[in-house]
Amino acid sequence: MTEKLVIVGNGMAPGRMLEHLFEAAPGRYQVTIFNAEPRVNYDRIMLSPVLSGEKSYDDIVIHGDGWYIQNGVTLYKGHRIVAIDRAAKTVTSDMGGTESYDKLVIATGSVPFIIPVPGKDLPGVITYRDLDDVNAMLLAAQSRAKAVVIGGGLLGLEAAAGLKARGMEVTLIHVMPTLMERQLDPAAGYLLQKAIEARGIEVLTKANTKAIIGDAKVEGVELADGTFIPASLVVMAVGIRPNVALAKEAGLEVNRGIVTDARMATSDPDILSIGECAEVGGHVYGLVAPLYQMARVAAASLTGGTEERFAHSDTPTKLKVTGIDLYSVGDFADGDDREEIILRDASAGIYKRVILRDNKIIGTVLFGETADGSWFADLQKKQADISEMRDTLIFGQAFQGGASADPLAAVAALSDDAEICGCNGVCKGKITGAITSKGLTGLDDVRAHTKASASCGTCTPLVEKLMVLTLGDSYNPAAIQPMCTCTTLGHDEVRRLIKAKGLKTIPAVMQELEWKTSCGCAKCRPALNYYLVCDWPDEYADDYQSRFINERVHANIQKDGTYSVVPRMWGGVTSAQELRAIADVVDKFAIPTVKVTGGQRIDMLGVKKEDLPAVWSDLGKAGFVSGHAYAKGLRTVKTCVGTDWCRFGTQDSTRLGIRIEKFMWGSWTPAKVKMGVSGCPRNCAEATCKDVGVICVDSGYEIHFAGAAGLDIKGTEVLGQVRTEDEALEVIVALTQMYREQARYLERIYKWAKRIGLDEIRRQIMGDPERRKAYFDRFVFSQKFAQVDPWSERVSGKDKHEFRPMAAVPFQQAAE
């Protein structure tokens, strides 16, 4: 019999609990969730990258609307539970609704602590706890004014860094002598303060807030010593408290948090509590790893299991500020019963401290170099005797027992039960076992099956190294391979930092990301140029000299040094006038070979480089534009005749193909893109081996993607089906924009789709109409800033035959 499960709160812990529950006992519970926030479940620990601009809200959604529908969950957004009737076993929301339950889970999280000083309620004083707070800060940051952040803990530092990245002048004030004093010793706190100040943030320690000053709104902060700091925004990030009010009013046992046993049951056996509001074993938690352990235990309790029990363990602390490497775990306080080993490298900004008791690690603090954090934590967890490696312990795992300095050797030496992902409690053996047993080949596959690196992402390098060790040469991800010899950074990291640091020129990228060469090379410059064009379409001036030669001259160079010219034929449709113009050009310039291409166009091969301007001039007079047969962009949309002529046609495939091609013509992409539209399932346009394909059916349009017919042969995957031509266009454009924003340079759609995950792409494009429309709108926005140059206009420079890239036709014209 189906039982009723009601959950109060929709944070990360209950979301993870439901994943475990649906896996262990699908269909056992009818689930209803009341969420005080007006949105779905998202990753709160990634709010800082949203604030800094490294991620968007869409990037941190854990369960979209489609997930709740798929699992039969009723989600009430923006409904706050105000009462629990334990006798009647019901809950009541502030909207007046009442819901009965068989089992109830309270996951009300925590509330931010507000310093009780005058002015705390002024407009412009906000806390930093949820997405609404982030949105408020982003709005305030548009003023480029001054901000004060109160609190030098994790949240305060991340808020300060995020606001600085958004252009505000930021002062961070902290009442204690050093930053993050609960997680760091004074030496590491000193280095952290230097790193924060190096980012242009003023840091004031031993600073006690006396009052927040202002009449109708915030004007500044007054300190106890009389110092006045002007500000239009004050962010309080001084700590959190478990949100226990609801449970207390219901008569449940409450201490600091809602008291539970090791199976997460409260004093009422039909009510469980998990997350930041729960107190188990005398502890309350604010980090995600123990919250996820609570989720696993609660799911087991709801299915009748008795073996899963919550067990306390120290959880590492990591700071999510780009460029600051910090790791802390365990007990690092001073004491007579302990000794310490310290390594300092002032020039490199490295500090390492390991605290020992009876030759066993009890605490670790790392700053500047944190790669050995997991190893130290594993030794601490196992209470391993380190006496034999005492002299070399501080240098890390690679220096033990004659081990190779190869970082892969260090990872290989980790035991199977060594924790790799602290957020999700995933050990090495679970990751390698899943890779082997499930045939996983990509990082996203590992994330989907194990949750490793799926939260804050700091363990991603370790997971990647495990994949290299397990899969060998068959795994060689670009994410951990440098773009080229000019940098140590991979494509993903470069692209992330371009957005995070607001870098808008190639010289700025090379300076800020510490390029090893003065001007880059033929590998990195085209990639950087593409990333900047895509990320800043309205601000970045396309560096045409950073494009490949074929793109600069609008022709494909051949093995004999001549060129191939391909004018565009929309959807493969031509006319007598166009054919005559091609014939005249062939005769006039004695072009030796004319060939019909696989993309339904005519290719003129053997054109001399010095003739290219005149060839294009004559073709332009006849109305031809570039077919972009050379481009990292849309090349062709192959069509069949559809309902115009074919007796089997179900839709007008020719019209749709031409519409797609005109709409998207000139839109640069990470690699070449080929499309096809077939008017019926007989598939004469071969749409099922294209990057994007459409199969017209009686009821509408079946959209396909991620096919290949080159070095790799691969049939397409079905993205979804839509009813109208307009919907088909929106889906295809949105899919292309998602690919433009996320793919690595020169990565084809089928490779990108495999890396990102087919289900994730379907979720974003087909399962989330709002996100799909946002992708579509961003594509249209980027096209507005693309320049359409006549072929007769030349570029100044050494090569008089080079032309500016032909960009998209104006949106209004393309839409016709």
Specify binding-site residues: 640, 646, 680, 684
Residue 352 tokens, joined: 């390492």
Q: Which residues are annotated as a binding site for siroheme?
A: 684
Separation CA 315–CA 283 (nearest Å): 13
Which residues of 146-260 form beta strands (DSSP E)? 146-150, 169-173, 202-204, 209-213, 220-223, 228-230, 233-236, 240-242, 258-260
Closest CA to 111 of 275, 337, 356: 275
Residue 294 host element (H or E) = helix 288-302
User: 645: burial class by Cβ within 10 Å (0-12, 13-18, 19+)?
Assistant: exposed
Question: 59 in helix, strand or coil?
Answer: helix
Interatomic CA distance for residues 653 and 660, integer angstroms: 10
**Sequence-separated (6 or more) residues with CB below 8 Å from residue 511:** none
Which letter does DSSP use for residue 413 in this model? T
Query: Using an 8 Å Cβ cutoff, are 492 and 478 in contact?
Result: yes
Phi/psi for 496 (5° steps) reads -65, -40
Q: Is the sign of the CA dihedral 93, 94, 95, 96 positive or negative?
A: positive
Of 451, 457, 320, whose CA–CA distance to 15 is shortest?
Answer: 451
DSSP 532-553: HHHH-TTT----GGGS-HHHHH
Task: Catalogue the long-range contacts made by 65-68 (C-beta closer than 8 Å, 24 or more residues apart).
Answer: 65/40, 65/767, 65/768, 66/763, 66/767, 66/768, 67/40, 67/763, 68/33, 68/40
Which residue shows structure tokens 């049939």? 715
The whole-angstrom separation of Cα 673 and Cα 632 is 7
Bridge partners of 563, per DSSP, are 557, 607
The beta-strand segments (E) located in 620-714 are 634-639, 673-678, 692-697, 700-705, 708-709, 713-714
Beta strand pairing call for 708-709 and 713-714: antiparallel
Give the span between the Cα atoms of 316 and 322, in whole angstroms: 18
C-alpha–C-alpha distance, residues 206 and 21, integer Å: 47
Can you state the angle between helices 524-535 and 491-500, rounded to 10 degrees? 40
Backbone angles phi, psi at 653, to 5 degrees: -65, -35
Question: Rounded to an integer, what distance in angstroms lies between the CA atom of residue 800 and that of residue 803?
Answer: 8
3-class SS of residue 151: coil
d(CA 225, CA 760): 54
Find all residues with CB under 8 Å of 330, minimum gap 6, and list them. 314, 355, 361, 362, 363, 364, 377, 380
* Binding site per annotation, positions for [4Fe-4S] cluster: 640, 646, 680, 684
Strands 350-357 and 360-367: antiparallel
Contacts of residue 711, Cβ cutoff 8 Å, sequence gap at least 6 = none
Give the separation between CA 366 and CA 380, rounded to whole angstroms.
14
Buried b (16+ CB within 10 A) or exposed e, 41-61: bbbbbbbbbbbbbbbeeeebb
Helix (H, G, I), strand (E, B) or coil at 291: helix
